[in-house]
Amino acid sequence: MSPPVPGSIRAQFQAIFGRMPTVLARAPGRVEFIGNHTDYNGGAVLGAAIDRYVWAAAAPNPAGRWRLFSVGNAAVLELPSDPGTKFSGTDSWVNYPLGVWRSLRDFSLPQPPGFDLLVDSNLPPGAGLSSSAALELAVAVALTSLAGKTDLPPAQLAALGRHAENHHVGVPCGILDQGTSAFGRAGHLVHIDCRGPVFAHVPFPAAAHLWIFNNRGKHALIDGLYAQRHEECLAAAKALGVARLADLTPAQLQARAGGLPPVLAKRARHIVEEQARVQETVTALQRGDLAVVGRLLTASHRSSQQWFENSTPALDQLVDLLEQHPAVFGARLTGGGFGGAVMALTRDRFTEADAAEITRRYTTAGHEREPEVLHLQTADGARRIDWLPRAGVATRTDPLNGEDGSGSSTT
C-alpha cells in the first residue's frame, strides 16, 4: 500500500514557506485500460483516470524567486528563475515543473514570475500509473491559476503536459497519460482517438472492478527502451509506406508485411492488432459483454509479451495467475511496460482475500518482492480545488486540511 497523503497540505505549505497557499490543484494518475503503444502510432486508446493523485499547492513569491518542495524530500529547492538546465537525483522531479513553466511560454500562456510550490502524491511512482503526467497537470493548473488563467480547457492542458514531457523532460510519449488525467470522469473510461486527438467518454461497467498489481520492478533502461520502441514503430510505418501504423488494418498489414525485417514486423503486428482490439473493446463495453472485454485485455497482454516485447517474466506470471482466477475477466500490463504494473478487470466477488492469494502464489513462485495491490475507482480529471478557509477552523469541505476524503487510501 502506498502511504496516505498527509492530513494537511495547507499546514505543510505553511510550515515550509511560512504562509498559506493561494491555489490548490489536483490531477489523477491513470490506468491504461487497453491500447498499448497505440497513442503515438495514431491509434485509439482507452484510459481510466484513477483515485490516486498528485496535489500541487502554490502561492506567488513576492521576490520573484522559485521555491519548490516535494513532500518526502529533505529540502526546499530555491532558484532565482529558470536555470536552463536539468536536475538529477532526488531533485529530478523538478524537471517536470520546469518543463511545464517552459511549456507555458511555448504555448504563449501567462507564466507566474515567481512562485512557491509544494507537491504531494499518493500515486506509487514507477508503477506505470502516470505519476509524471499527474505532476505535470497538477503543476500546470496551479501555475496557470497563479498567473490568472483559471479556465484552461482540458485539451489544452493535456497538450501542454505532453509538450512538457516531449520537449523539456525528453520522453517521446503520446497523449494517453496527459489526455486521461485531463479528461478523466468518475464512472467512465476516457477514449482517445490520437489522430486529433479527439476525446470521448465510455461508461465504465458498474459490475466490474479495477485492480492493480504493482510488482515494483522497473527496468533501469525504461526510457531508452520506450524511445527504441517508438523508433521501431516509425521505421515500420515508413517501410510499409504509411504515415502511422494504426492506419493499417490487420488484413492490410498481413498483405504487406512480407519484406519487413522480423523485429519491425513484430512491432507492427502488435500495434495494428492492438488498434483493432481497442475498437472491439469499446463495442463489447457498449453491449455490456465483460467476458469479451476480459479476453481482449488478456490478448493485449499476450501481444505485448510476444510481439512488442515490452513485458517481463514477473508481469507475465501475474497475468497467468490472474487469468486462471474465476472472478477475473482479464488482465494485462498497463502503461509503457518493461516493468511496472498489471491491471485486472474483475467481478464484484473478487476480494482483498483473492488479491492476497494471488500475491501469495506469486511470491511462492520465487518472486522476492510482494506486489503492491490497489483496488481503484475511476475519477474526475485534473482540476483546481476551490476552498473557503475559515480562519483557524478546519471544515469537512476544506481539502487543504485533507478532510474531504481526497487523500484517503482506497486499498
Measured distance CA(308)–CA(320) in Å, rounded:
18
| Grid cell for residue 62 | 513576492
* C-alpha radius of gyration, the chain, whole number: 21
- Please give the size of the binding site for ligand GLA, defined by CB under 6 A: 11
Q: Which of 51, 116, 177, 398 is catalytic?
A: 177
- Kindly state the smallest distance separating residue 323's Cβ from ligand GLA, in Å: 21
Q: Which residues pair with 26 in a beta bridge?
A: 55, 383
Instruction: Identify whether 386 is a catalytic site residue.
Output: no
Candidate residues 46, 160, 176, 245; the one interacting with ligand GLA per rule CB under 6 A? 176
- Kindly state the smallest distance separating residue 222's Cβ from ligand GLA, in Å: 10
CB nearest ligand GLA: which residue? Answer: 173
Among 39, 215, 28, smallest CA distance to 127 is for: 215
Does 336 participate in binding ligand GLA (rule CB under 6 A)? yes
Does 37 participate in binding ligand GLA (rule CB under 6 A)? yes
Candidate residues 99, 335, 339, 399; the one interacting with ligand GLA per rule CB under 6 A? 335
Q: Which is nearer to ligand GLA, 13 or 93 (CB)?
A: 93
Q: Which is nearer to ligand GLA, 298 or 359 (CB)?
A: 298
Does 174 participate in binding ligand GLA (rule CB under 6 A)? yes
Q: Which is nearer to ligand GLA, 32 or 354 (CB)?
A: 32
Measured distance CA(284)–CA(7) in Å, rounded:
41
Residue 334 is classified by DSSP as E
**CB within 8 Å of 331: residues ≥ 6 apart:** 297, 298, 301, 318, 319, 322, 323, 342, 343, 344, 345
Query: Do 36 and 274 touch, CB atoms closer than 8 A?
Result: yes
Burial of 410 (0-12, 13-18, 19+ CB in 10 A): middle
Candidate residues 51, 116, 136, 177; the one interacting with ligand GLA per rule CB under 6 A? 177
287-306 binders of ligand GLA (CB under 6 A): none
Candidate residues 5, 9, 17, 36; the one interacting with ligand GLA per rule CB under 6 A? 36
Alpha helices in 164-288 (DSSP H): 176-183, 222-240, 250-256, 262-286
Does 32 participate in binding ligand GLA (rule CB under 6 A)? yes
Footprint on this chain of ligand GLA (rule: CB under 6 A): 32, 36-37, 39-40, 173-174, 176-177, 335-336
